[in-house]
Amino acid sequence: MSTKRRRVLTAEPDHGVSQPDSESGFIRSYYGDAGLDSATRKMLIYEQRRRLPAFKHRMQLLYAVENNPVTVIVGEPGSGKSTQLPQYLYESGWAADGKKIACTQPRRVAAAMLAQRVSEEMGVELGTTVGYSVRFSDASDPQMTRIKYLTDGTLIRECLADPLLSAYSVVMVDEAQDRSIATDTLLALLKKILHKRKADLRVIISSATLDAEGFRSFFEKDSSIIVSISGQPFPVDTQYLAAPCENYLACAAETVVNIHEKEAPGDILVFLPGKDAILTVLAELEEQQYGNHRLESLLLLPMYAGISASDQKVVFDLAQKGMRKVILSTNVAETSVTIDGVVYVVDCGLVKQRVFDVATGIDRLVTRTISRSSAKQRAGRAGRTQSGKVYRLYTHEAFNSSLFTQHDVPEISRLSLATMVLTLKALGVSNLVRFDYFQPPPPELLSQALEMLAGLGAIDMQSGLLTADLGLHLAELPLDPPLGVCLLNSVAKFACVREAVGAVAMLSLGDSPFVIPSGRRSEALEDRREFIAQEGDVLTLVNVLLGYQETPVRVRQQWCHLHFLNPRLLDQAARISRQLESYLVRMGHRDSLRISCGRDFALLQKCLVSGFFTNVARLDKLDGRYRLIRSGQIIDIHPSSVYFSMDAKPDYVAFASAMDTTKLYMQGITAIDPGWLTEIAPHYFSIK
């Protein structure tokens, strides 16, 4: 195995090696550059701006913001609220005194795209008056930027340095209906900040749904106002099933065929819960195409997050003349991506959602009925460019029954709150039970998060404060708490900083970088052996990352292709490891960056145990399966793990993540010595 380990020993960390900005590609010019002279271009832009629904409400919006600390805006996608309102505010002097106007988005691409478009509308260079700031990409200028688009997570991080957000005169929380933990946290923080800045801060909350009253009543009613911007561009006709269907997959395929045979041209978007369902419907339609030449003009396209960039491109490209695109998609197409040309939507009414199980501390992936507001959002995808139709694969009665809830269960009620708790503590919120949340989280989720952080040594349970040696630094790091603990302990205790930075960066991807192209399975697995370390997934992942970093930038893409690796993920891991190094430097550990464990891999393995000591499983020799130390529950090796296809399995393992899907699976697995447990986490393990 020595050749396999050599990479770990010889590779130099690549501080400051500049990378091609593979992300700059995601911002495209909105107005294009079709050789228009600047006067014509200006006029065209002005005309286009005037036609947006927001324009009619310009004075009303400005009046509302002028006279109320909090304004709630309801507007459909396409109303212009995200692009126009910040400009109106800028034009009427809200950024005159050197202050900025912030507009937050749940997703990074949206922030970048909006900034690009607004800078074009205003005729300024992106990154000057108009800018954006998201992780790994800051196109803003501390002095010049007046309108700044950011993700809500980025603005929360700015709170850590500037708790009153004093750089801003207006903060607009856009897409608040998203209800991510970050959005909810930001709303609560803004309410707190408003108490101290009632005179000079304005908060705008914008949401696509009509549930504005909820946002308004959170803030003081007498100091807030609701403005509604109408503007669903085109009507969408809704069809329900007359009777419930037995098999929604067959029903989805049948509906697509019916639309194709009876309806006018226009692409079809089918919402399905997951990859499995997508591939099933795809196979069914392909089979029908075989015996029916009228179906040959259907272009069948799967769409989910894990799909390769080149395959995704086809989904966005215009179909050939005479062809009808059928996009079989997960929830990505509901909010994250927009596909032009869709006239028909088929909605099976299901979604897969992550739910954190407090009892086991493990995430489950459950298939659920969607909410009514989600159904509306899906339907709206049919009416973006012309009037459309939505075919709901459930009955009207079902839709109005308790089977469908009005809204989704927001993240704060169903996910682990460890990171949110850490952030709030760092911002000086002492009593998390009495904190004024936008929606209070379930108490059991809150106490689970507190216990977990206390177990990691980040919170002192007596005082309830972040610990000075660990907790305060942990809150600074853009990592899940257990991963942050590994990183900090690699400096403080285990002398394996170089390896830990790589390991933590790779694990924080949350996805395996190994790809298996269809039909080339054995080839891919054979090549993977070059990277595999007996110690498990984590060292293997470190080998992969070091191999990537050793490869000259210009041939990295090719190298990934050759070794069956996902270049997007590895590029991201390389960015994360550089970012983590700069955090360590800021914490005064510049000299530690070069510390390597050398051949003593046990140091890295112990370091991992210091973050993941709750995630330990023991091999049961009788049936050859692992069982969780805590509960005795059976947990299996995920097929992406190196141990999945290895005959000699370690007696004890620690794992970075677990997910309950078809079975309970563990990922990011490392062999450990059980003796380490009492040594590293004596408060958690008593000696047998």
Interface with DNA (CB under 7 A): 106-109, 134-135, 151, 153-154, 157, 180, 182, 274-276, 304-306, 330-332, 336-337, 352-354, 365, 419, 478-480, 508, 510-512, 516, 637-640, 644-645, 657, 659, 661-663, 665, 667
Torsion of CA 118, 121, 124, 129, to 10 degrees: -40
The CB-of-510 to DNA minimum distance in angstroms stands at 5
Nearer to DNA, 54 or 408 (CB): 408
Nearer to DNA, 166 or 336 (CB): 336
Q: Whose Cβ is closer to DNA: residue 227's or residue 506's?
A: 506
Q: How far apart are CA 73 and CA 203, in angstroms?
A: 11
Strands (E), 165-245: 168-173, 202-207, 224-229, 236-241
- Shortest approach of DNA to residue 451 CB, angstroms? 19
Q: CA gyration radius for the chain?
A: 26
Q: CA angle, 551 as apex, 638 and 7 as ends, to 5°?
A: 60
β-strand 70-75 against 202-207: which pairing, if any?
parallel
**Between 226 and 515, CB nearer to DNA:** 515
Q: Which of 480, 571 has the CB closer to DNA?
A: 480
CB of 151 to DNA, least distance (A): 4
- Identity of the residue, 185 or 224, whose beta carbon is nearer to DNA in the bound complex: 185
Name which of 537 and 595 has its Cβ closer to DNA.
537
In the complex, the smallest distance separating the C-beta of residue 509 from DNA, rounded to whole angstroms, is 8
| Residue 573 C-beta: closest distance to DNA, Å | 12
Nearer to DNA, 13 or 273 (CB): 273
CB atoms within 10 A of CB 282: 18
The answer to whether 206 touches 215, Cβ cutoff 8 Å, is no
The whole-angstrom distance between residue 133's C-alpha and the CA centroid of its chain comes to: 16
Query: In this structure, are strands 625-628 and 616-620 parallel, antiparallel, or unpaired?
Result: antiparallel
Distance of closest approach, residue 567 Cβ to DNA, in angstroms: 17
Least Å distance, CB 633 to DNA, is 16
CA 341 to chain CA mean position, Å: 26
Q: Minimum CB separation from DNA for residue 540, in Å? A: 14
Sign of CA dihedral 508, 510, 512, 513: negative
| Pairing mode, strands 130-134 and 137-139 | antiparallel
Q: How far is the CB of 332 from DNA (least distance, A)?
A: 4
Number of Cβ atoms within 10 Å of the Cβ of 109: 15
Minimum separation from the CB atom of position 638 to DNA (A): 6
Q: Name the minimum Å distance from CB 654 to DNA.
A: 16
465 vs 225: CA distance, rounded Å: 37
**CA nearest to 52, candidates 102, 21, 88, 1:** 88
Nearer to DNA, 328 or 495 (CB): 328
Q: Which is nearer to DNA, 212 or 653 (CB)?
A: 653
Number of residues that this document lists for the chain: 688
> Rounded to 5 degrees, what are φ and ψ at 202?
-115, 135
**Alpha carbons 259 and 391: distance in angstroms, whole number:** 9
Query: By the 8 A CB rule, do 112 and 140 touch?
Result: no
Pick the closer one to DNA by CB: 20 or 306: 306
Phi-psi region of 372 (alpha: psi -120 to 50; beta: other; left: phi over 0): alpha
